Amino acid sequence: MKVRTLRRRPAWPALNKHHKEIAKLTLRHLFDQDPQRGERLAVEAAGVYLDYSKNRVTDETLRLLLQLAEQSGLRENIDAMFRGDKINVSEKRSVLHVALRAPRDATILHDGQNVVPEVHAVLDRMAGFAVRVRSGTWLGHTGKPIRNVINIGIGGSDLGPVMAYEALRHYSRRDMNFRFVSNVDGTDFTEAVHGLDPAETLFIVSSKTFTTLETMTNAHTARDWLLAGFGGEQAATARHFVAVSTNAQEVAKFGIDTANMFGFWDWVGGRYSMDSAIGLSTMIAVGPESFRAMLGGFHEMDEHFRTAPFARNLPVLMGLLAVWYNDFFGAQTVAVLPYEQYLKRFPAYLQQLTMESNGKHVTRDGRRVDYDTGPIYWGEPGTNGQHSFYQLIHQGTRLIPCDFIAFARTLNPLGRHHDTLMSNVFAQTEALAFGKTEDQVKAEGTPDGLVPHRLFDGNRPSNTLLLDQLTPAALGKLVALYEHSVFTQGTIWQIDSFDQWGVELGKALAQNIIPELEAPSEPTLSHDSSTNALIRRYRKMKGAG
Ligand code: G6Q
């Protein structure tokens, strides 16, 4: 199918016109008109219930958005991804994270070869290793079992593992410590190993390329720390370092036996890799069975995305709603608000997934876009956010669509805590949608002067995602839901959601400046005057020559 540029797809001008017609409609009015709206605009799949009724949409909006999806070639693009086409055009790569969670008997081709057996071979090796570490049969250099696992990685090789460990902490080995080092700031490493015995510590060096500055710096520091604990005995590293990478050559060069390397493939993007070998720390924490259950959850959502009609397809609907606010209402951000303490790192994880994927200014064929692409994602767990930034969401001047994420059953039943937590979810979405009118404020006996301050306009949109309980499978479903929502948005904007040239720039730039900071005598600087002055001042402050 030939996809036209965004503004030339018939649904785009139709949506523009429609937006002008309905922009003033209020959720109050929409709900009054249709008493069934709250049940009608909801969809449940793979055990995830999405209530999208509190969005500023009518049936006509949804009809037009679904048309836009069709006219954008979403169906064809989904098929192309699952088929292994090289849809990451700027890097000429397939995008096959869905293969990482495909069942053993599935067939997913990459360059004519079924990748599923390789995926399961790595999963089986990871499981074998995880079981040895967990059971205490993988011994450190002096014969002690491993009690501390430290993942060294950054970006896609860190955020997923950290988020998943926090999310699944309930299922994790409580007699082991799991820590994560990502920042090249030495404080990160120093604090991570604080109080640990090298003889009981395992480092997982996670890096797709095995050349990333931060990760390699931290890996070398980890090796020095370990060797210092073993009186410099080089052989000690063998039992205390394993690698997760696609680059066997660099792994060997670092000194890790490739027998202790867990591989993945160039068709897995960093931010789509938490369910690959990059999840080794997760698997050691929760065990292979729970890890596989998580993969099962991912797969269930993949199948839903691949097969469900768009009108009942959760990631498609969420993606379309994000486009609706971003491009027609001019909303610049989306707040993600998990009412689940274990998901405290989920917004940070989503920031990379969404913004690294869709923060692009050219189309796949290199034309500059003339519409807005990826919004800013941010958030914090509820109810904490309610006591800080929700003020702006309720009464500020900006429109901030929100995703509320909640679970019917808590993992930690404690008196009235969970009902109290959930009452806040429902109260917040209700207040955002319907606000508080002048009459209501006055009826509360509010003095006239205070009435404007206590008014809530309402009409602030939100999605509510309700799941049963935060299990490993539920986590997989949630992550896959957002992955595919990002895919839906990227398809509509016609961008490459799978490259990250902006990140590559940062990787190169700092390399040029390091020698200037470390030069024994004043180096000749040829940056702009601000950068030159900052470098000179820094050198002076640290007492360099
Ligand atoms: C993710 C990005 C980026 C990457 C890190 C780490 O999609 O590409 O965040 O994951 O830069 O890269 P390495 O795994 O190669 O160290």
Identify the pLDDT of residue 545: 66
Residues 6 or more apart whose CB falls under 8 angstroms from that of 317 comprise 43, 50, 52, 310, 311
**What is the spatial distance between Cα 381 and Cα 193, in angstroms, rounded to a whole number?**
28
Pocket test for ligand 1, best of 152, 157, 271, 357 (most atoms within 8 A of CB): 157
* Long-range interactions of 420-425: CB distance < 8 A, separation 24+: 421/339, 421/382, 421/383, 422/339, 424/339, 424/382, 424/383, 424/386, 425/339, 425/382, 425/464
Place 505 in a pLDDT band, splitting at 50, 70 and 90: confident
Say what the pLDDT of residue 223 is. Answer: 98
Asked if the model's pLDDT at residue 484 lies above 90, the reply is yes
Handedness of CA 422, 428, 431, 434 (dihedral sign): negative
Query: Tell me, what's the pLDDT at 507?
Result: 74
- Tell me, in angstroms, the distance from the centre of ligand 1 to residue 385's CA: 29
Q: Which of 24, 387, 453, 542 is catalytic?
A: 387
Q: Quick check: 472 and 482 in contact, CB under 8 A?
A: no
pLDDT at 506 (0 to 100):
77
Question: What DSSP line would sit under 450-482, residue for residue?
Answer: GHHHH-B-----EEEEEEEE--HHHHHHHHHHH
In the residue annotation, 540 being an active-site residue is answered as no
The string of pLDDT tens digits covering residues 182-239 is 999 999 999 999 999 999 999 999 999 999 999 999 999 999 999 999 999 999 999 9
Active site residue 507: yes
- Strands 333-338 and 241-245, how do they pair? unpaired
Rounded to the nearest 5°, which phi and psi values hold at 51? -95, 110
- Identify each DSSP E strand in 318-461 by its residue range: 333-338, 376-378, 402-409
The pocket around ligand 1, CB under 6 angstroms, is made up of: 154-157, 207-209, 212, 215, 269-271, 356, 500, 503
pTM more than 0.95: yes
For residue 454, is pLDDT > 90?
yes
Residue 208 CA to ligand 1 centre (angstroms): 7
Tell the residue nearest (CA) to atom 11 of ligand 1: 155
What's the confidence (pLDDT) of residue 448?
96
- Give the least confident one: 295-309, 401-415, 498-512, 514-528: 498-512
pLDDT at 509: 80
Q: Using a pLDDT cut of 70, give the percent of the chain over it.
A: 100
What's the whole-number average pLDDT of the chain?
97
Per-residue pLDDT tens digits for 281-338? 999 999 999 999 999 999 999 999 999 999 999 999 999 999 999 999 999 999 999 9
336-374: pLDDT as tens digits: 999 999 999 999 999 999 999 999 999 999 999 999 999
Q: 387 an active-site residue?
A: yes
